[in-house]
Structure 1
Amino acid sequence: MPLHFVTTDAATAAAGDVLTLTGAEAHHAAAVRRVRAGEQVTLGDGRGVWLDGRCTAVDPKRVEVEVTARTDVPAPRPRLVLAQALAKGDRDELAVQAATELGVDEVIPWQAARSVSRWNDAKAVKGRARWEAIVREAAKQAHRAWVPEVAEITSTPRIAARAAASHVIVLEPTGEVRLSAVAIDPAQGEVVLVVGPEGGIAADELALLADAGATIAALGDTVLRTSTAGPAALAVVSTILGRW
């Protein structure tokens, strides 16, 4: 299977062009993945451009790739969005990584009422950058033409406000409807899956989201960790939409 690397130069490239990987991408290609001259690889810009190419020169600081073919992959519709509550340890990061591999199009860090982890001021900037790095590497590993966006940290009222234009589904063990039974319109602009923290979603938050028009749905009879609920829900919704 060809390897995949991301470079902004891919945006305007065409067959016959030679692109150069430098910095971390070159080091990863040459020293970590041990790409050799003549090997086939794929390149992308993370925004839908997909390039097939052949390595013509390989060095830890510089890798040259001759483009052999270009494909422009349209953005998936509807967009799948994960509003992931901040969690202690690395549980939220595990959710973000798996969600990216499973096809999420946007990730929203959510400061829920019961989130043990708190992103304040500089920590919010650092946390978002960390999630962006996780998303980028997971997208490359999964050979995705589109790298998911990572939004700024948000609050419960802002998530509720999205219900006016999006199909917001809150994953809650006490939900009276199963996620697999929720009617999802493929023509909908986006589907937002909301996952709470370790202690669950507070009652007043559930009420706010429900009053805004969100669907409260259960994944099944068991209670999943915050690190697995989002990826599990993405698998269900992707099947409903025919992505899988």
Structure 2
Amino acid sequence: MTAPVFVVDDFAGAAPGRTYVLEGPEGRHAVSVKRLRAGEDVVLTDGAGRWAQGTVAAAEGKDRLLVALDDDGVREEDAESPRITVVQALPKGDRGELAVETMTETGVDAIVPWAAARCITQWKGERGLKALGKWRATAREAGKQSRRVRFPEVAEPATGKQVAELLAEADFAGVLHEEGSEPLATAPLPASGSIVLVVGPEGGVSPEELAVFARAGAKPYRLGRSVLRTSTAGTAAAALLLGRTGRWS
């Protein structure tokens, strides 16, 4: 079994063979929830690609874990290529967190919340800030659970115009749509660069939005014969893209 992952704010003072002190909420989770003991392996990461492996030297109190770093010290994982960004329309209820969780576990690199024209849910004011915070916290926890050391970026909510600009800059841009004439499974994908895929709301991407995105270079693609919910479509599409680009090989 792979070692559990814990998030650190920084690696100040970390060096090969040195003891790193994990405390605060992450230390409490390691000591009081995971109940880690001396001799067990752990991975520490800042969630942005920097990470270090070590062995538990001791647990002190309820929220302090002493980790003896291995001889490799702090390492850095390169960003994956092609970079996969999913523009996720806002689902109802907690389905947004479900989408973020499963896309993070699958391997998506960035998630962009999008208030599409047909979205029932709208992020406004304090409610919007709270919802964005939940998405980011979900990405962090799912990143830890799936043993990632580079967590996906959850961007600020984007307008349709901003989504179009993102699509125009991508090496491959697409919109998941049940009426797409071409399957995503045969779409021409780049070997490097960036892939941006739009997942619409339950009511679908509006004709006006499709037209704007088409002018930005994004064609509509279908996944298969069945129509997936917005909270699962991005994960299914990401798995397909990760397999086809060789990132899962």
1:172 pairs, out of 157, 173, 177, with: 177
1:51 offset after TM fit, Å?
Answer: 1.1
Query: Is 1:16 aligned to residue 17 of structure 2?
Result: yes
Q: Which residue of structure 1 lines up, in the alignment, with residue 142 of structure 2?
A: 138
How many angstroms apart in 2 are the aligned matches of 1:231 and 1:212? Answer: 23
Count of residues in correspondence between the two structures: 243
Deviation digits for residues 186-230 of structure 1, max 9, x if unmatched? 122x11111111111111111111121112100011100111100
Bigger Cα displacement from structure 2, 156-165 vs 169-178: 156-165
Q: Distance in 1 between matches of 2:68 and 2:131?
A: 36
Whole-Å Cα distance in 2 between the matches of residues 81 and 123 of structure 1? 24
Q: Is the 8 A contact 1:37 1:56 kept in 2?
A: yes
Partner of 1:115: 119
Q: Distance in 1 between matches of 2:190 and 2:16?
A: 38
**2:226 match:** 222
Letter in 2 for 1:175: G
In 2, Cα distance between the equivalents of 1:124 and 1:89?
13
SS at match of 1:9: coil
Q: Is the 8 A contact 2:139 2:152 kept in 1?
A: yes
The CA deviation string for residues 72-96 of structure 1, in whole angstroms up to 9 with x for no partner, is 2101112111111001111121111
TM-score (norm 1): 0.96
Q: Give the aligned partner of residue 243 of structure 2.
A: 239
Residues 131-189 of structure 1 show CA distances to partners (whole Å, capped at 9, x for unaligned) of 1100000000011110111100111111111122112211000000000110011122x
Task: Please identify, of 49-58 and 129-138, the stretch whose mean Cα deviation from structure 2 is larger.
Answer: 49-58
CA contact (8 A) 1:11 1:45 kept: no
CA drift at 1:11: 6.9
Residue 13 of structure 1, CA deviation: 2.9
Q: Quote the Cα distance in structure 2 between the aligned partners of 1:88 and 1:74.
A: 35
CA 1:11 to 1:222, structure 2 compared with 1: closer, same or farther past 3 Å? farther
Superposed CA deviations along residues 23-56 of structure 1, whole A, max 9, x for unmatched, are: 1101111111110122111111111122110111
C-alpha RMSD of matched pairs (Å): 1.3
Question: 2:218 & 2:197 partners in 1: Cα distance?
Answer: 10
Structure 1 residues without counterparts, runs of 5 or longer: none
Equivalent residue for 1:63, pick from 62, 65, 75? 65
Structure 1 Cα separation of the partners of residues 37 and 25 of structure 2: 17
* 1: CA distance, partners of 2:138 / 2:203: 24
